[in-house]
């Protein structure tokens, strides 16, 4: 008899919490991709190791080994196991992200598409500023696992620090992984890396074809390329000999995947650094409070860039209190008269500033986090509002002609006559980017005005086209949603206006203030990034009905630390993250009554579990309650939140509460979100 084990644990591609046992007569290695039978199906699976289980019933045999892939390495396997355990997701399904979408290409086929990585003349490293050098040197001292926060104001040259760190990693013969939010993964950014590292770069993002994605994946796995730059899913590329992981804009909520495996790419990157024993660098001008607290508590090393490069000043931020325009002293009356042609959303100050900037041949950008012409249409006679039939939210008016649901994309034609009382004529209330664009065209005839929101920019090609037009100065005024608030760098952009800061303040989410602060700071960061010595700094105007709102005051003073301290105190008093832990359970289904019953059942189980175990004393159970979006795409939604001042008990509690889901009534889905970012 050989020593070779005959039984193996295999994580199969199915919604099973645990691995299954299979037999195989030939030698196998951990991490090997295999084909196995499951019921009547054939599925893929990954070998986790020998099984010591005494089989209770007949064990099926592994069909074959997939020879295309060599076994996944041990630290990577450990990382996948952690993801599955921590986020309560079936391990076999987590593994599915570990492989490229297609088989390896055996012939190089020529493609008409532009190469994924452009071939550019190499440029050499710049001389680092003193601040950059201090940060670079203190991070590059580390070679084993350690987490670093590179906290640098917008335009302080964080990217240059990343490039230098990667350079060191390559010199050691190791490889690097750079994560950026999908929206920042523009040609601008890829070119910057390609210019420095030439043909050593591979990229993974959502705009690649399956073939391109597969080729990029193999370029890294076969070792032809040594730096992978990509969106959060790039983490799943099994890179051996990893020397550094960088997570740029680490505060971005888009690092969190909202469906299936609900992982946070930033947190998963730190865990990967731990398994691979390499440093992890998180960069931001507005770090998440989670990361900031870790830095303050000494878990992460803090490195700060306080100044923009080349002594460029940060922009001047002016706050316009929209309420004050209603005063009735004489001067004010004159002003009101002079500007009576302006739409209600445009203050005289912002209007004048746009004129000033355009006169100099520079550019202005206006942000509003709302699309369309108006948020809602309402009948003034009976109060009827048009709501989406699938979702419990009002429909938005677009182009004055149709109503659209911003969640499920339901469309209908806009009819003036109220469908309910058949008397009144529907009024449009609110504002959106489309309305802004229309008004600006009227106020600035002859100027080039472009809009960037999900209605206008539907593909990456659209976005790239827009970026190019901004870069060459073909656009005078850019109007957009937060889509354009992030990461972009336009030399001639000198004025940024936030049309209505209040939009973000009142969302039913404990992170609303943090999000508002981040948005204002990031948005301001787009202004005046390339001013020359002696030139006036960029300008930012924030319009609001809440001029005293904390997030505005701190953003105006560029005071992230003050903001963070204040906000952490508030979080602490309520045990919200990052001080406490939060887990959300969404209960959904097509019948309201059943959803409500299931939500009550879940809450009762939670109460019983808490009362039976003193370890769970710190657990708070909030709800069940109707979710803020109580109906979405025909599904009714309730939620239950579990909050815990003692972080480490929240996961075991959840695991016990959910159990094998055998108790969940039919027709009901319970979706668990660990460390949720989206509470709607």
- Supply the minimum distance, in Å, between the C-beta of residue 629 and Zn ion: 9
Write the burial class of residue 49 (CB in 10 Å: 0-12 exposed, 13-18 middle, 19+ buried).
Answer: middle
Pick between residue 154 and residue 588 the one whose CB is nearest to ligand ADP.
154
Least separation in angstroms between residue 259's CB and Zn ion is: 17
Q: Provide, rounded to whole angstroms, the least separation between the CB of residue 310 and ligand ADP.
A: 6
Cis, bond preceding 446 (omega within 30 deg of 0): no
Is 279 or 372 the residue whose CB approaches Zn ion more closely?
372
Q: Are 591 and 607 in contact (CB under 8 A)?
A: no
The least distance separating ligand ADP from the CB of residue 304, rounded to whole angstroms, comes to 12
Q: Which is nearer to ligand ADP, 92 or 152 (CB)?
A: 152
The token pair at 266 is: 């930033």
Q: How many CA atoms lie within 13 A of 627 on its CB side?
A: 27
Residue 132 binds to ligand ADP (criterion: CB under 6 A) = yes
**What is the separation of C-alpha 350 from the centre of its chain, rounded to a whole number of angstroms?**
30
Residue holding tokens 């996944």?
A: 72
Query: Does position 388 bind Zn ion by CB under 5 A?
Result: yes
Entry field: residues in the chain:
680
User: Which partner, ligand ADP, Zn ion, none, binds residue 160 by CB below 5 to 8 Å per kind?
Assistant: ligand ADP
Q: Map residue 535 onto helix, strand or coil.
A: coil
Compare residues 160 and 212 and give the one whose CB is closer to ligand ADP.
Answer: 160
Does residue number 156 form part of the binding site for ligand ADP (CB under 6 A)?
Answer: yes
**How is the beta sheet containing 146-152 ordered, strand by strand?**
201-204, 227-230, 175-179, 242-248, 279-284, 146-152, 301-305
Give yes or no for residue 310 binding ligand ADP (CB under 6 A).
yes
Q: Which of 92, 100, 152, 273 binds ligand ADP (CB under 6 A)?
A: 152
269: its two tokens: 């990157």
Shortest Å, Cβ 299 to ligand ADP: 23
- 313 touches 531 (CB < 8 A): yes
Q: Hey, which residues between 464 and 523 contact ligand ADP (CB under 6 A)?
A: 489
List the x/- string, 169-208, binding to ligand ADP by CB under 6 A. Answer: ----------------------------------------
183 vs 368, which CB is nearer to ligand ADP?
183
Partner touching 69 among Zn ion, ligand ADP, none, CB below 5 to 8 Å by kind: none
Nearest to 374 by CA among 390, 395, 344, 346: 395
Q: How far is the CB of 411 from Zn ion (least distance, A)?
A: 10
Nearest to 307 by CA among 197, 111, 152, 187: 152
What's the rounded Cα separation, in Å, for the pair 144 and 477? 48
Q: How far apart are CA 270 and CA 282, in angstroms?
A: 9
Contact window for Zn ion (CB under 5 A) among 51-59, 371-379, 409-417, 561-569: 409-417
**Calculated CA dihedral for residues 493, 499, 502, 508, nearest 10 degrees:** -70
Give least dist CB 184 to ligand ADP, A: 10
Q: 309 is in the binding site of which of ligand ADP, Zn ion, none (Cβ under 5 to 8 A by kind)?
A: ligand ADP
Q: Which stretch binds Zn ion (CB under 5 A): 70-78, 288-296, 386-394, 638-646?
A: 386-394
157 binds ligand ADP (CB under 6 A): yes
- 164 lies in the site for ligand ADP, by CB under 6 A: no
For the CB of residue 636, give the shortest distance to ligand ADP in the complex, in Å.
43
Residue 71: exposure state from Cβ atoms within 10 A (0-12, 13-18, ≥19): middle
Three-state secondary-structure class, residue 209: coil
Q: Choose, by CB under 6 A, the member of 32, 154, 558, 654 that binds ligand ADP.
A: 154
Footprint on this chain of ligand ADP (rule: CB under 6 A): 126-129, 132, 152, 154-160, 309-310, 489
């Amino acid at each position: 008899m050989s020593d070779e084990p005959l039984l193996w644990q295999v994580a199969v591609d199915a919604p099973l919490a645990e691995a299954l046992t299979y037999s195989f007569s030939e030698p196998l290695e951990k991490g090997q991709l295999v084909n196995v039978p499951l019921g009547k199906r054939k599925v893929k699976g990954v070998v986790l190791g020998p099984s010591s289980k005494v089989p209770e019933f007949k064990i099926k045999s592994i069909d074959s080994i997939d020879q295309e892939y060599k076994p996944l390495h041990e630290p990577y396997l450990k990382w996948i196991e952690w993801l599955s355990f921590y986020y309560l997701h079936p391990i076999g399904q987590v593994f599915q992200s570990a492989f490229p979408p297609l088989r390896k290409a055996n012939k190089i086929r020529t493609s008409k598409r532009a190469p994924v990585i452009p071939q550019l003349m190499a440029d050499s490293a710049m001389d680092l500023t003193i601040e950059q050098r201090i940060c670079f040197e203190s991070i590059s001292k580390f070679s084993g696992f350690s987490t670093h926060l590179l906290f640098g104001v917008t335009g302080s040259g964080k990217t240059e620090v990343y490039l230098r760190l990667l350079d060191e990693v390559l010199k050691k013969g190791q490889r690097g992984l750079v994560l950026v939010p999908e929206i920042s993964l523009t040609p601008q950014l890829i070119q910057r890396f390609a210019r420095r590292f030439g043909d050593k770069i591979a990229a993974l993002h959502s705009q690649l074809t399956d073939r391109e994605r597969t080729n990029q994946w193999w370029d890294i796995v076969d070792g032809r390329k040594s730096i992978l730059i990509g969106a959060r899913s790039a983490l799943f590329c099994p890179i051996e000999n990893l020397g550094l992981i960088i997570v740029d804009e680490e505060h971005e909520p888009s690092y969190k995947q909202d469906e299936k495996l609900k992982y946070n790419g930033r947190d998963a990157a730190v865990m990967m650094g731990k398994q691979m024993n390499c440093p992890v660098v998180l960069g931001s001008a507005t770090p998440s409070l989670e990361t900031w607290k870790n830095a303050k508590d000494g878990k992460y090393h803090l490195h700060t860039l306080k100044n923009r490069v080349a002594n460029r000043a940060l922009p001047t931020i002016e706050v316009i209190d929209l309420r004050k325009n209603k005063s009735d002293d004489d001067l004010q009356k004159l002003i009101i008269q002079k500007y009576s042609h302006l739409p209600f959303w445009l203050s005289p100050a912002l209007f004048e500033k746009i004129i000033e900037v355009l006169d100099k041949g520079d550019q202005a950008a206006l942000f509003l986090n709302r699309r369309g012409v108006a948020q809602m249409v309402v009948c003034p006679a009976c109060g009827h509002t048009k709501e989406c039939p699938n979702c419990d939210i009002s429909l938005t008016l677009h182009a004055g002609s149709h109503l659209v649901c911003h969640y499920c994309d339901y469309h209908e034609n806009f009819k003036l006559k109220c469908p309910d009382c058949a008397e009144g004529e529907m009024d449009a209330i609110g504002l959106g980017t489309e309305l802004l664009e229309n008004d600006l065209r009227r106020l600035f005839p002859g100027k080039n005005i472009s809009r960037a929101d999900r209605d206008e920019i539907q593909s990456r090609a659209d976005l790239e086209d827009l970026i190019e037009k901004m870069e060459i100065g073909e656009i005078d005024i850019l109007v957009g949603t937060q889509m354009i608030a992030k990461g972009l760098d336009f030399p001639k952009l000198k004025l940024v206006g936030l049309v209505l800061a209040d939009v973000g303040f009142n969302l039913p989410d404990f992170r609303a203030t943090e999000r508002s602060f981040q948005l204002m700071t990031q948005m301001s960061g787009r202004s005046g990034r390339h001013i020359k010595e002696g030139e006036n700094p960029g300008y930012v105007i924030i319009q609001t009905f809440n001029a005293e709102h904390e997030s505005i005051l701190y953003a105006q003073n560029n005071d992230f630390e003050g903001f963070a301290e204040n906000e952490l105190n508030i979080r602490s008093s309520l045990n919200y993250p990052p001080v406490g832990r939060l887990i959300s359970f969404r209960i959904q289904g097509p019948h309201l009554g059943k959803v409500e019953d299931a939500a009550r059942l879940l809450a009762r189980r939670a109460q019983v579990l808490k009362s039976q175990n003193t370890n769970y004393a710190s657990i708070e159970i909030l709800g069940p309650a109707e979710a803020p979006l109580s109906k979405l795409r025909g599904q009714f939604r309730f939620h239950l939140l579990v909050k815990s001042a003692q972080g480490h008990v929240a996961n075991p509690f959840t695991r016990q509460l959910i159990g094998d889901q055998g108790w969940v009534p039919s027709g009901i889905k319970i979706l668990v979100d660990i460390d949720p970012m989206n509470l709607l």
